[in-house]
Amino acid sequence: MHTDEFVGHAKATTSGVQHPRTSWTALREFKLFVPPLPEQRKIAGLLGVLQRAIGQQEQLIALNTELKKALLHQLFTHGLRGEQQKQTEIGPMPESWTPTPLGICCDILSGSMSYTDFLKIASADEDDAIECMGIKVSDMNLPGNESRFVTANQVKRLPVALAHRKLIPANTVVFPKRGAAIATNKKRLTTTWTVLDPNLIGIYGKDVLDADFLFHWSQMYDLRKITDPGPTPQLNKKDLIPVLMPLPKDINEQREIAEVIFTADRKLTHHQHKHAAFTALFRTLLHKLMTAQLRVHDFDMTEIERTS
């Protein structure tokens, strides 16, 4: 019943608009391959191993997500140097840290080339041309873009002088500025010169601020706190300028904190990739085993169990 063929048949035979429903009369017409009972059990056993592996990775992802949240809170309130804490308008932090407005420690960017113009411009052939990205909100969800923009639907080579003049640089923290996407609280780091569509905005740390430290702090910050209410939620530069962030004076401490969080991120990403791999394998084997393109005796279940 997990196969695309069965689900597709059920959807195709659904009737009704306000209360869509299928029926036994429609479902009974679905035709499926029925191998001998011993082979059915082997197929179910193999797919069951993969489902358990997927479930295990889901548990590990949830656990590591919670651990990362606790780690972020600990590091941004206590630091790494064992300092005494002080109370500030944004909560406790080490005594040597300072609550600093984003307008002072960051440039708030949108770029001077529109996303529409980026789509129209031709890719350059010059030797000094560099690869640039055009980013939309949907690009945040592309595989591999869980924390940084490593890919995009729109990528072009532009003259380096044009990129420097009109695009936003690498290591800019980007997030939605308009619509329901704000509530997702997703933030990503750019990895090259980038054009943002009108629904995105970026913050770029100045010399006093490590880019990864800024990015990890941004993951804790709830954008909904500064979102203007209305039919279409939005936030703008004026909303970001007064936002306070906890800032260590020593940039080396910022980098050390960022490295600790990066290690936790790497472990979480590892489990996310394993989950994606097991899920893809399950979908592939489900289709091929249920249509007899592959036979279950071709697989070593002990090896799959060991890998999971």
Two structure tokens written together for 166: 């009109």
What is residue 107's DSSP assignment? Answer: E
Q: How confident is the model at residue 295 (pLDDT cuts 50, 70, 90)?
A: confident
Average pLDDT of 6-18?
Answer: 87
Decide if pLDDT at 303 tops 90. no
pLDDT value for 126: 85
Least confident residue range of 26-30, 97-101, 278-282: 26-30
What is the pairing mode between strands 244-247 and 85-88?
A: unpaired
User: 243 versus 24: which is more confidently predicted?
Assistant: 243
Least confident residue range of 8-12, 118-122, 131-135: 8-12
Q: In what order do the strands lie in the sheet with 188-189?
A: 106-109, 200-205, 173-176, 188-189
Residue keyed to tokens 């097991």: 278
Per CATH, 35-95+251-308 and 98-247 having the same topology is answered no
Least confident residue range of 232-236, 240-244, 298-302: 298-302
Q: Does domain 98-247 have CATH number 3.30.1360.120?
A: no
Decide if pLDDT at 61 tops 70. yes
Least confident residue range of 29-33, 60-64, 66-70, 202-206: 29-33
Q: How confident is the model at residue 308 (pLDDT cuts 50, 70, 90)?
A: low
Q: What are the tens digits of pLDDT across the range 71-89? A: 999 999 999 999 999 999 9
Q: Does domain 35-95+251-308 have CATH number 2.60.40.10?
A: no
Domain boundaries, the chain: 35-95+251-308, 98-247
Alpha helices in the chain (DSSP H): 4-12, 24-27, 37-78, 102-105, 115-120, 160-166, 211-220, 237-240, 251-290, 301-307
> pTM value?
0.81
Q: How far is CA 132 from the centre of its chain?
A: 20
